[in-house]
Structure 1
Amino acid sequence: MTIARVPTDDLPETFHVTTDEQLRAVSNLTRHRIMAMLRFEPATITQIARRVGLAKGSSSYHVRLLERAGLVKVVRTRKVRGVTERYYAMAARSIELPDPGPGQPDVLLRNAVADLEASPVDDERHVRMAHLRLTEEQFTQLGARLQALADEYRTLSDPSLPDVSLVFALFRPAARLQVEGEAE
């Protein structure tokens, strides 16, 4: 058995999604789940299929699309009974998506909501929504604090522990339209 390793320590910090092909690749919920799994440890097509709950052929198809888009890459190979087994990992530590245009879906939030809805209901979850009124400065400070907290806990991540997802969205909602007959 021969194992060839590609170093993962030198991964770029961020991969910026810029092409339509890349956006289509990350927009698919199955591929989103594959990338989430590969974020912590490399895996083969067979391991990906088992962990994500796919047929091996489907797993291979989705990984090929991600690889072609540059989002995942082969980081290690090994020969097993004359067949080369490839281990895939993320191409960067994080992926940055472009902001959706007006009226366009927010891919990241849609995938996060789908993951939340699929998570075990009897498991501990912390889901809250708060409506605030903030100055521009407070809005900016809160965004920075949330990002710093997420970054702090990302450095504490241990691949041997179960996955946990953290999603936050700090935004100004669209202006509420006044309904006819409502007092101004």
Structure 2
Amino acid sequence: MPTDERPETLHVTTAEQVRAVSSLTRHRIMAVLRFEPATITQIAGRVGLAKGSSSYHVRLLERAGLVKVVRTRKVRGVTERYYAMAARSIVLPDTGQGGPDVLMRHAVADLEAAPSAGERHVRMAHLRLTEDQFAELGARLEALADEYRELSDPALPDASLVFALFHPAPGGQAEGDVR
């Protein structure tokens, strides 16, 4: 399946898929495969893993249906496999109230691992919005992310965009906070 024929969205629905995307290493592998296919060797180099470890994680992602072999080629008698994401975007299930948010944990870990000398735009804003304004802002943020995803060029350096628009816990105190 050429990468341009991938479905737009894949919904994570099984326990195997949830376990697969819950790993920060596999999250980073999926980020490598988001824009262009890569071999195990290429993935290992981009993620900073041994080839054996990369192969293990890619096999788990493949078994869960999150990545697929999109082409093969023979190199000195060995079949080289190129992997790509199974869909252009992956939608995680709602974790429910109090559930851990995998995306945010991965985003924070990626931000912490990013070179500190690099340019960053990190901001938190507390807003007071009507439900209509809340919904409109959410839709505008998603549209903006989609617009820039369409402009993405695999030849350019990676950039990550993460946003969370939510209603905080009542009273401004999250579970586990100590006063």
Give the TM-score of the pair, scaled to structure 2.
0.94
Residue aligning to 1:145:
140
Of 26-35 and 144-153, deviating more is 144-153
Conserved? CA contact 2:3–2:36, under 8 Å: no
2:36 to 38, 41, 45: 41
1:14 offset after TM fit, Å?
0.4
1:20 to 11, 15, 19: 15
Aligned length: 173
Secondary structure at 2:146 match in 1: helix
1:9 offset after TM fit, Å?
1.6
Residue aligning to 1:32:
27
Residue aligning to 2:176:
none
Deviations 1:9-44 (A, max 9, x none): 211000000000000000000000000010011000
Letter in 2 for 1:70: G
1: CA distance, partners of 2:97 / 2:136 = 25
Please say which structure displays the higher CA radius of gyration: 1
Give the TM-score of the pair, scaled to structure 1.
0.92
Taking only the aligned residue pairs, the percentage that are identical comes to 83
Residue aligning to 2:150:
155
1:7 offset after TM fit, Å?
1.7
**Counterparts of residues 25-174 of structure 1 (less than 5 Å):** 25-174=20-169
Letter in 1 for 2:17: Q
Distance 1:133 1:86, change over 3 A: same
Deviations 1:24-69 (A, max 9, x none): 0000000000000100110000111111000110000000000000
1:176 offset after TM fit, Å?
1.8
Question: Would you tell me which structure has more helix in proportion to its own residues?
Answer: 2
Q: Find runs of 4+ consecutive structure 1 residues off by over 2 angstroms.
A: none
2: CA distance, partners of 1:128 / 1:9 = 34
Secondary structure at 1:9 match in 2: helix
2: CA distance, partners of 1:103 / 1:138 = 24
